[in-house]
Structure 1
Amino acid sequence: MVATRWGICSAGKIAHDFLAALKTLPPEDHQVVAIASRDLSRAEEYAKTHGIPKAYGSYAELAEDPDVAIGDVMVLHAEFGSPQLSIPRCVEKELGGGGLLDIGCYCIQFACMVFNGEKPESILASGFLHNTGVDKTVSIILNYSRHRQAVLTCTMTAKMPNRASINGTKGMIEIPSTFWCPTELVVNGQRESFPLPPSPMPVHFSNSIGLRYEAEHVRQCLLQGLKESPVLTHADSALINSILDEIRRQVGVLYAQDDMEHIPNSFV
């Protein structure tokens, strides 16, 4: 069977961790054939370090490489609920800064997953803005049918417990710290573990080896001829973005390309 050939967009920390995760999968199934960065010298250095055959100084060149089957866009995400106000990209509006789009999206995706892609009936959001106009702390309530709620918070001002819980009529599921990449669940007081394989090299972020599951899922989708994942569909992505847009509208975070005055609120 032909290997899935990966092209890596970016030479940052997440890209490094993704490469480490790929190394835990069978090499006959996953091969990294190229890497691209806006800085060619950085791409070349990265390629040399990680044994990647080709390096490009633009993402367009990578996209045009006939040897690349998968382009994985790497976006660096800082630790959830940790002080980030000193990181320029997190507070610069021109770079899409703000906690909501950087770490709050994990909270929104978690709620959408738990409620199986259901659209909230209403959204209530409140927060505080940085002097650059991006959000630094946001609290969110998503109201669903049958009197169900998701209560979410994200902040760039302080470290948080970074836990999640699902509370229902038959009990509670707790997800310990780093809920976006967990290796443990506590179901009605009973702890269950899902250990990751050891990393073949040092990584930058917690449980980055879990990216192997994403890589293998992409491969299986390709082998089945699928153009979208049945686990996270295009409709799921659109719903998450629409919720983020409404939260930004309520909190008052506007980017240059936004035209919020002419976008109706579809969550009332």
Structure 2
Amino acid sequence: MTWGVIATGGIAHAVTADMLKAGVQVGAVSSRDVAKAEQFAEKFGIPRAYGDYHELLADPDVTVVYVATPHGQHHEVVLAALDAGKNVLCEKALALTVAQVEEMVDRARTTQLFLMEAMWTRFNPLIRKVVEAVGAGEIGEVRLVRADFGFRHAFDANDRLWAKEAGGGSVLDLGVYPVSLAHLLLGVPGTVHAHGGLAPSGVDADAGILLGYENGAHALLGCSLTADTGAGAAIIGTEGRIDIPEAFYNPTRVLINGVEHTAEDGGYTHQIRSVDDWVAMGFVEHADMTWNDSVEIMRIMETALGQLGVSYADVVR
């Protein structure tokens, strides 16, 4: 199969480098600035560069596309890709609203093409080990998931992290990781409570999110673009605990009841190989990051954002 890369920002550079490490074939790249696409293609040895993603989607050799645009463009680009007959791996957060995610999922279901949100954390070998340990009861019943992801990022209304039309804000860009971890281990919460601050551009600058579950378990999650909170996580059960040192979204070591487990940093390679395999086998949905997972995680974030006073309704097409 041949992959196409849509957009040429920092995340596209990192993921494409790991695509090559994973041994997949990358045949095309697109950028609104064709010069950037050409530079990107030269750097990674990609044979074709396009100045418009519609041109890439018309490339008959491309089987699956990786969408690396800002969140605000995901909905438009993913629908166009599916309509063009392409399988899709799209960066997280998958969209700006639950309604957008549901429409994207419905289109994938209708076209019978693969669609997955690129939550690479779920494919990390140590995160898989953590899930196995929890499932085996090694720490008893999980009562608390605690996770943070935050750093200081100077405000600039034109920066994608702060720009509302780009899907900026701490929750969609950073909070998606802690929320996804809690969802992975505890499922859908019964209650969501959020508190945080807003930026002049109308997006959230930081947030503390408390997820409550019917059995009394809870998740304490934080994300910030104004303070360096770090990126560690802990899972605490009735019989023990698991600590995931920074960065929990791509760990190289975890402590399960005090016993250290390590692995080499595989980056995005595990996710890329798995998606490549699943698309090749004809699947349209991945069992480790399902369509329903994406809808449920987006619903948690949308609820939290609403409590913070953030709505993307004015920028959603």
8 A contact 2:206–2:225 mirrored in 1: yes
1:31 deviates by: 0.5
Q: What amino acid is aligned across from residue 124 of structure 1 in structure 2?
A: H
CA distance in 2, matches of 1:255, 1:18: 27
1:37-60 CA distances to partner (integer Å, 9 max, x unpaired)? 111111011112221000011111
Which of 222, 236, 243 lines up with 2:293 in the alignment? Answer: 236
Structure 2 distance, partners of 1:110, 1:180, is 8
Which residue of 1 is the match for residue 98 of structure 2?
A: none
Deviation at 1:109, TM superposition (A): 0.7
1:105 corresponds in structure 2 to 176
1:80 offset after TM fit, Å? Answer: 4.0
> 4+ residue stretches of structure 1 with deviation over 3 A?
256-259
SS of the residue 1:24 aligns to = helix
Which one of 59, 75, 78 corresponds to residue 53 of structure 2? 59
For residues 213 and 171 of structure 2, the distance between their equivalents in structure 1, rounded to whole angstroms, comes to 20
The whole-number CA distance in structure 1 between the counterparts of 2:69 and 2:254 is 27
The CA distance in 2 between the partners of 1:166 and 1:125, in whole Å, is: 20
For the 8 Å contact 1:125–1:139, the answer to whether it is kept is yes
Alpha-carbon displacement from aligned partner over 1:188-231 (angstroms, at most 9, x marks no partner): 111100113xxxxxxxxxxxx51011110101211321101100
Residue of structure 1 aligned with 2:31, choices 32, 37, 42:
37
| TM-score in terms of structure 2 length | 0.72
How many residues are paired up? 238
Please show how residues 85-104 of structure 1 align to structure 2 within 5 Å: 85-87=154-156, 88-104=159-175
Instruction: Tell me if the contact between 1:141 and 1:150 (Cα under 8 Å) persists in the aligned partners.
Output: yes
In structure 2, which of residues 202, 219, 239 is the aligned counterpart of residue 170 of structure 1?
Answer: 239
Query: 1:184 Cα deviation (Å)?
Result: 1.0
Deviation for aligned residue 1:258: 7.6
Is 2:211 the partner of 1:217?
A: no
Separation in 1, partners of 2:163, 2:279: 37
Shift of 1:85: 3.3
C-alpha deviations, 1:87-137, integer Å up to 9, x for none?
Answer: 52222222221111110111111111112xx32111111111112211111
In structure 1, what is the Cα distance between the partners aligned to 2:279 and 2:244? Answer: 31
Tell me the equivalent position of 2:227: 158
Alignment of 1:104-253 (within 5 A): 104-115=175-186, 118-196=187-265, 209-253=266-310
SS in 1 for 2:249: coil
Q: Mark the runs of 5 or more structure 2 residues left unpaired by the alignment.
A: 71-91, 93-147
* 3-state SS in 1 of match to 2:21: coil
Q: For residues 107 and 186 of structure 1, what CA distance do their matches in structure 2 show?
A: 18
Contact 1:7–1:70 under 8 Å retained in 2: yes
Percent of counterpart pairs with the same letter? 36
Q: CA RMSD of the aligned region, Å? A: 1.8
Contact 1:85 1:91 in 2 (8 A): no
Shift of 1:25: 2.4
Q: Quick check: 1:5 aligned with 2:62?
A: no
Structure 2 Cα separation of the partners of residues 182 and 149 of structure 1: 23
**Is residue 47 of structure 1 aligned with residue 41 of structure 2?**
yes
Instruction: Give the 3-state SS of the residue equivalent to 2:173 in structure 1.
Output: helix
**Which amino acid in structure 1 is aligned with residue 248 of structure 2?**
F
What code does the residue aligned with 2:192 have? I
Gaps of 5+ in 1: 197-208, 260-268
